[in-house]
Every structure is written in C-alpha cells, then in structure tokens.
Structure 1
Amino acid sequence: MKSHLTVLLCFVGMMVFGQTARKYSNEFMNIGVDAAALGMSNAVTAQTGDVNSGYWNPAGLLKLEDNQLAFMHSSYFANIANYDYAAYAMPLDDRSAVAVSLIRFGVDDILNTTQLIDAQGNINYDRISLFSTADYGLTFSYARALPVRGLNYGINAKVIRRIIGDFASSWGFGFDAGIQFETENNWKIGVMARDITTTFNAWAINEEAFATIRDAVAGQNQELPETTEITIPKLQIGVSKLFNFNYDYTLLAAANLNVRFQENNDIISSSFASINPALGFEFGYIDMVYLRAGVGNFQNELQIDNTERLSFQPSLGLGFKYNGIQIDYAFTDIGDQSVALYSNVFSLKLDFSFFR
C-alpha cells in the first residue's frame, strides 16, 4: 500500500511544484460528462461509482457490480457545437476494474471562404467548401482496491486528438490519478488529480492550407501558430454523505473544492492557486426517481464601475432508473452564466446485470 501511495503523491508533487505552463489547453476535457453529475454542479468526486467514474474519479470504478455502458449528448452555443460522450466499464474481479471512454466536442459544416475570390478578383461561390473542427479525448482507466478497507485508487491514461479541417491537427497525451475512501457511516472522501504530469499537445500545421488564410486578408495572419502546448494540472477534492429516511427516501449531499494552480477570478484566488467550490444535492425515491440541484462556478466579476460582484452558476437535474436502464437530464451552463446559453443535457446508462 505504501508503494502505491508514494507513487501517487510523487505524481501530485510533480504536478504542483515542478511545472510551469500555458494557462488554457484542452478545455473541452473539463466540461464534464453524465447529466446526473452536471445536475449536481459536478460535485461527484467523492461518491461517483459507475461507468462515468472513468472521467470523474477512476477509483469509483471499484463500485461496479457488472458491466455498464453510458452515452451522453448535448448541444452548445445555440446548437452550433455538439458534445458527445460514450463509455464502457467492467469489473475484472472483486479488487480491480477497467473502463474506456470517448469524448467528442466539435463544430461541423463550417464555411471555408478563403477561396471565394480568385486571382482575378472574381467572386465564385462554387469555391466555398465545408470543414469541421473537432476535439477528441480517449481515456483508458484502471482501478484497484488497496489493502485498507474502503480505500481505492484509479489511474487514467488519456489520448487527445484535435483537428481543425485541413489546416492543423495535434496529438496529446496525459495522465490522471484519483483515490476514494468510504467510512462505515456513509461518509465518502475523494481526490482527483487531473493532468498530473501535464498533458502535452504537439500540433502539425499544414503550411499550404494555412497560406490560404494568410493570403485572404493582406497583412493579417502572417505568422504560423505555436506548435506545442501543455495543460496544467488541476485538483478536485470532494466529500459526500448519504442520508436515508424511512427506507424509501434518500438525500445525498456533496461538496467539491476545484483547485487550479493559477490566478483567476475564482472566489478564492492567489498567485499560487485558485479554489472554486461546488455544492450538489440529490433527492431519491425508492432508488427509482431522482431530483437534483447544484450550485458552482463562483466568480468575482469585475463591473463597469470597477467594483466586484460575486456570481454563481445553478443547475437542475432529473433522473429515472428502472430495470438496469437509467435516463438522466440536466439543465445547466458550461461556463459564464451571464452570457452563455443554458443547455439541455441528456444521458443514458445501461447496467448489464439486468440483462443477465
């Protein structure tokens, strides 16, 4: 057990103290998956325990009793962008489990007008073409129980693929690590360290295709973009408690502290790190119907008169589970609640134990 924990702590130490990096990269991997989690403002690090744990905290895969399959779809920015997710998980034995998941965030059918005007200055609409820009995240997860009762750990290996039409593409690689601990009185604690060694992306620029952009507007876009970027680590710390009432009713209360090692507008921020809390609640009836609510994304917004105003992002959700099939819905926003449109998120989860 000591060797496992030592390796994990070393990774976390390297991520916090040994790296300096660009602030933003691969942000699509931070949106979240599963409408049930999004309805609770993503405050699920401590109690996640199904196929979606591969994303939220791979240590939670140890709670699987049989194979599970999950799907999710959501449209963002007035249906301009589509966000899709699929995952499959299975227990290997009573002490280990594995999962694989795929995320795609893309905008399709973008008009390429760089060839609209030919060399003689004539406009030819037949020269307009279509292209897509898409980000893919493929994650392989492994979870293992430690000798201490109630203590589990998990590791993710991620492959990132980003494509911008014929203009540019990149490959990226990274790792996550997480732990969960459950007490005998239904308290759960979880820690998820994302991009623990930083996630590295290397871009390949199609200079011939890029030249069409460079020549479209004289004097603009003359320099090629940077070809490397890295994603700085993030830490999520969660705690949750399940309350039972009269056998038929349950209330799950959860809280998360989301830590980024950079200074921004989070409610708690310094030059070393910023902390953004999230709270989530789930009311359940006979393990069949669920009503969810959450609040997160607390930001100190600068107003036009140079004063600051505290803003936050609420979310709501509803779930229904019957005979191994679970359908969840969330009404939430992925970012700035004062500008971006709220999205309707749907997800489906299948538990193979029913079909056996």
Structure 2
Amino acid sequence: MKITKMKYAFSIMVLAMMSVGLLYSQSGTSGGSFEKAGSTGSQFLKIGVGSRAMGMGGAFGGVSNDITALYYNPAGIARLGGTNLGVEYNEWFADMKHSFVGLSIPISTDYTLGVSVLMLDAGSMEITTIEQPEGTGSTFSVTDLAVGVTFAANITDQFSFGMTMKYIENNIFDLTASGFAFDAGTIYEAAIQGLKIGFAVSNLGGESDFTGQSLTVLYTNLDERDAGITSRPLNATLNSTPYSLPLSFRGGVSYDVMAGMADQSLVVAADFIHLSDNPEKFNMGAEYVWNNLFAVRGGYQMRYNEFGLTFGTGINFENESFRGSFDYAYADLGILGAANRIGFRFKF
C-alpha cells in the first residue's frame, strides 16, 4: 500500500497528539496514588461503552473491530468495511441511563468517517433549599453529552490511525459547561496472524466551567433576619471553578488463538489504562465465537474500587441486506450493585 503525503501528514498529526496526551497524563497520578482523585469533571467519559467490549472487561483497545472503536480507539473503524451502525444502552447504578450511538461510513478504500453520540442521564431530582429542606416541589435534571466526528485511515496494510474531535456538554439544572476535546489512536496488526496492538489517548482538551442563571443569587443575612433586624438582600454571583477533562492513555493487545479458522475464534485481550485523575487500571478479557453465530465473553477489571468480574453473550444474524448482532453484558459493581448492558450492531 502506497503511503501518500496525506497519509503521512495524518499519521504524524495523530502521533503528535498521542505524545502530547501521554505527557499530560504523566502529570496525573501513578503508582497507586489517589491524590488527584475527583480533580476532573465530565466523569461520564470514563464509563465504558459497548455490550461486547464490556463483556470482555473493557479490554478493547487492541481489539477495536466494531463500531465501539469510536470510543476505545478511533483507528479501529478504518478496517471495519461497509457501513456500520451501533446502538448501546447501559442501565447504570443509581438509576442512571448511559447510551451510545455510533455510525461509520467508508469514503474510500483507505479512509473512513465516523459519528458518535454518548449520553448520561441521571434523571430528575427534587430541589431542596435551606428554608425548604424537605423539597420545594420542583425538580431538576442532570445530563451529560458528547458528540464526536472521527476520521480514520489505513496508512499501510498493517497500520491504522484515527482521530476524533468531540463536543462535550454538562448540564445541571440551568447550569451548562461545554468544551471541545480530541481522541487519537493507532492499531498495528502484527506479522503474527491474529495479533493486534493498539494505543489511544482520549479527552485531550482544555478546561470548562459552569455558567447559568443559578449562579446569580439573592443573599440574605439569616442571622440579622432571625434577630429581627431588617436588611436589604444583596445580589451576588457565585464563582464556578474551572475543571479539566479526565485525560487517559490506553495501551491494548489482543490475540486470536484460533486465527485462520473459518467459523470459530477465541480472542484474548488486555488493556493498560493510565488516567490523569486516578491510579492505573488493568482490564483483561476473552471472547469465544462458535460457528460465527454465538459468542460468550468474560473479563475482569483490576484496580477498581468496586468493579470486577464481567461476562456477556452475543448472537449474530444476517439476511441479504445486512449482518447484525445482539449483545448483552453484565458487570459486577460491588456495593453499587450491577450494570446491565444491551446493544445492537449492524453492518450494511
């Protein structure tokens, strides 16, 4: 495969972004330190997507061969072929709803475009005040949104690169914080059949802060009021502290033990994840597919406070127009309960 000037420039840009992301992530915690825990916002970006991927414990950085590569490693969509559509739903703890929709379309033999939408809905909660601690009768909602546009390319027969630009928005009541971030990744298919290595940096962007009407308040001196002293309420504006995004660097490797077999596969995978606001994480998992029809998956997430074992299953189906898959995954969240994910993937 000929490396054109465009491919060369694109690969240099992606590698530069990944290098910058790695340098920034190194300024975070490491070696089990928790000193920066809770120091970033937009935490919904760290919730893994995909019933197939999460059934494998989230060890998908080196796999990334379905539409959820848009989340784990954008380079993965370069080799999907055809038009791919995925819809995922996650019943998260505390009645939160986590959803993902992804679409990829090849624009040439070597180039692919993708679009993704990631959303977390925490539902409605009752508004309370100092004067009405039991509730005012009104409610507010909390939602998070990320919309991404991805471009990926096959640089050679073995190397793929991808880059995503995404808009991120957080909403709490009438307060909104928004900004832009980038993801970048690469996948290398080794000379050993079935072996893949992937690297990705996610959420490389600036700081955001909340703005909105609720930051303007009417301040009343309660001590003077309780003492019977009449005073004029004062208008005040609350300051919103800017927050960073949860930058992460992911390195993954996968190997198909049954590579070369037409109707079966056994993929084992492992990911190392370096976070800017938490200690490193390790994910490992496996997937066995029988007769290109039925899949069983299992995984384990290490160095998480509550996360641990995961398992999942999937069924493939097809007709003359498309191929599809239905996937389910279960994840043990410890004292937080469990997460149940379902997803549909289609290839046209």
TM-score band (shorter)? Answer: 0.7 to 0.9
Aligned to 1:240: 254
Give the corresponding residue for 1:224. 238
Separation in structure 1 between the aligned mates of residue 262 and residue 335 of structure 2, nearest angstrom: 43
The C-alpha deviation readout for 1:322-348, integer Å capped at 9, x for no partner, is 101210000014xxx432111111111
**C-alpha deviations, 1:127-172, integer Å up to 9, x for none?**
51122110001111110111x3210100010101111112x11112
Aligned equivalents of 2:317, 2:202: Cα separation in 1: 33
Distance in 2 between the 1:217 and 1:350 partners? 60
| RMSD between aligned residues | 2.9
Offset, 1:81: 1.1
Alignment partners' CA distance in 2, 1:39 and 1:67: 24
> What does residue range 88-127 of structure 1 map to in structure 2 within 5 Å?
88-114=103-129, 117=132
Residue 269 of structure 1: aligned partner: none
Task: Give the alignment partner of residue 189 of structure 1, picking from 191, 194, 197.
Answer: 197
Gaps (5+ residues) in structure 1?
118-122, 267-274, 302-310
Question: Does the 8 Å CA contact 1:193/1:233 hold for their aligned counterparts?
Answer: yes
Alpha-carbon separation, structure 1, partners of 2:113 and 2:154:
12
Distance 2:288 2:73 in 1: 22
Residue 62 of structure 2: SS of its match in structure 1?
coil
Aligned to 1:255: 270
Contact 2:177 2:211 in 1 (8 A): yes
Match of 2:342 among 342, 346, 352: 346
- 1:203 and 2:210 correspond: yes
Q: Secondary structure at the match of 1:202?
A: coil
Give a deviation string over 1:96-133, Cα, whole Å, max 9, x none.
1011111111122211234975xxxxx998x5112211
Asked if 1:6 corresponds to 2:12, the answer is: yes
**How do 1:204-353 and structure 2 match up within 5 A?**
204-207=211-214, 211=217, 224=238, 226-244=240-258, 247-261=262-276, 264=278, 266=279, 275-299=280-304, 313-323=308-318, 324-333=323-332, 337-352=333-348
Task: Flag the 1:18–1:287 CA change in 2: closer, same or farther, 3 A.
Answer: closer
SS at match of 2:14: helix
How far apart, CA to CA, are the structure 1 residues paired with 2:206 and 2:347?
A: 32
* Contact kept? 2:14, 2:162, Cα under 8 Å: no
CA distance in 2, matches of 1:215, 1:81: 35
* Deviation, structure 1 residue 56: 1.2
Residues 145 and 338 (structure 1), Cα distance of their counterparts in 2 relative to 1, 3 Å cut: same
Structure 1 stretches of 4+ with a deviation exceeding 4 A read 18-22, 214-218
CA distance, structure 1, for counterparts of residue 324 and residue 9 of structure 2: 39
Q: Give, as a single letter, the amino acid of the residue that structure 2 aligns with 1:183.
A: A
Give the direction of change, closer, same or farther, for the CA distance of 1:129–1:142 in structure 2 (3 Å limit).
Answer: same
On the 8 A contact 1:175/1:199 being kept in 2, the answer is: no
Tell me how far 1:312 sits from its aligned partner.
Answer: 6.2
For 1:284, give the aligned amino acid.
Answer: V
Amino acid at match of 2:210: W
Following superposition, the deviation at residue 287 of structure 1 comes to: 1.0
Q: Which amino acid aligns with 2:342?
A: F
Match of residue 165 from structure 2: 157
Which residue of 64, 69, 86 maps to 1:53? 69
For the Cα contact (< 8 Å) 1:199–1:232, is it kept in 2? no
Corresponding residue for residue 146 of structure 2: 137
Question: Structure 2: which amino acid aligns with 1:35?
Answer: S
Shift of 1:14: 2.6
Relative CO higher for 1 or 2, CA cutoff 8 Å, sep ≥ 6? 2
CA contact (8 A) 2:265 2:289 kept: yes
Change (3 A) 1:216 1:312: farther
- The one of 49, 52, 70 equivalent to 1:36 is 52
Please give the alpha-carbon distance, in whole angstroms, between the structure 1 residues aligned to 2:172 and 2:196: 42
* Corresponding pairs, count: 315
Distance 1:199 1:35, change over 3 A: farther
Question: Secondary structure at 2:20's aligned position in 1?
Answer: helix
Shift of residue 225, structure 1, vs aligned partner: 5.1
